[in-house]
Amino acid sequence: MRNLYYIQTPENVPLEYELAGAGSRGVAVIIDTFIQNLFIAVIIVIIVLISGGMPDNIFLTEENTIYIILGISLIFFLQFGYYVCFEYFMKGMTPGKKITGLRVIMANGEPASFTACLIRNFIRIADMLPGMYGVGIISIVLSKRFMRVGDYAANTIVVKDKKSVKRIESMRVDKANMNHIVSDKEVALLLSYYARKKGTKNIMKSDILEKQLYNHFYNKVGLVPDLPDYFTPGVYLDKLMDYLGIKQ
């Protein structure tokens, strides 16, 4: 089942995202961890070669102190900076997320900021406890928006990148094709609603029904011409009727 997340932008443009669950995020982490370990292995090999070969106990050899410090620093950067740098410079993606089609964004739909990337990955240490991302998995499973502890701290979500956002605005259709989208039964439903709406005591004047009709037609038709910047379900239905050429 798809887990959808809706956002209304300040410009009143509705956006739809599909949230990424624990499974796909886990696969991305496995890929990223594999890549990190490859980098770490390369660093260790390079340091050993530069230091003239690893002695029996490299940590007790004074000449290797600078190489040990350099190696530990690079490994720490890979463990922590890997996610921060990739998510920020690749617009919410790491190599693992890119392969699995995931992206990190702010909860309001904006691209993940550097601060958010820093916070969510600094808190990754807590998500990894007590091992194998135990805390993070539990948090994702229990969260309605599949957020781990780091996501809560940074106010970010992870979504499936389907290029990447489905703008419902793009669902706008030409009037010539409208007859193929809105059926005769749906037109009759609109006419019946507006006819009965005039009766103040009629149950068809329900705000709940109006919202149900709005949700149905908005998801099916999308935006219609002449809508104001901010509109109510009733205004949308009025403009839809005008666009369909139906007299109320």
What CA–CA distance (Å, rounded) separates 180 from 185?
A: 12
Give tens-digit pLDDT for 123-140.
Answer: 998 888 887 788 989 999
Give the residue from 97, 99, 45 showing the smallest Cα distance to 67: 45
Give me the residue label for tokens 């149900």: 212
Higher pLDDT, 216 or 173: 216
Q: Which residues contact 87 (CB under 8 A, 6 or more apart)?
A: 93, 94, 97, 104, 112, 117, 120, 121
Average pLDDT, the chain: 79
pLDDT above 70 covers a percentage of the chain that reads: 77
Q: Tell me the backbone φ, ψ of residue 18, rounded to 5 degrees.
A: -105, 120
Pull the structure tokens for residue 182: 């809105």
Give tens-digit pLDDT for 49-81.
Answer: 776 655 555 555 566 677 777 778 888 888 889
The mean per-residue pLDDT over the stretch 224-240 comes to 80
Would you place residue 167 in the very low, low, confident or very high pLDDT band (cuts 50, 70, 90)? very low
**97-101, 152-156, 212-216, range with the lowest pLDDT:** 212-216
For the chain, the distance separating the N- and C-terminal CA atoms, rounded to the nearest angstrom, is 38
Give the residue from 70, 77, 25 showing the smallest Cα distance to 51: 70
Q: Tell me the backbone φ, ψ of residue 8, rounded to 5 degrees.
A: -105, 115
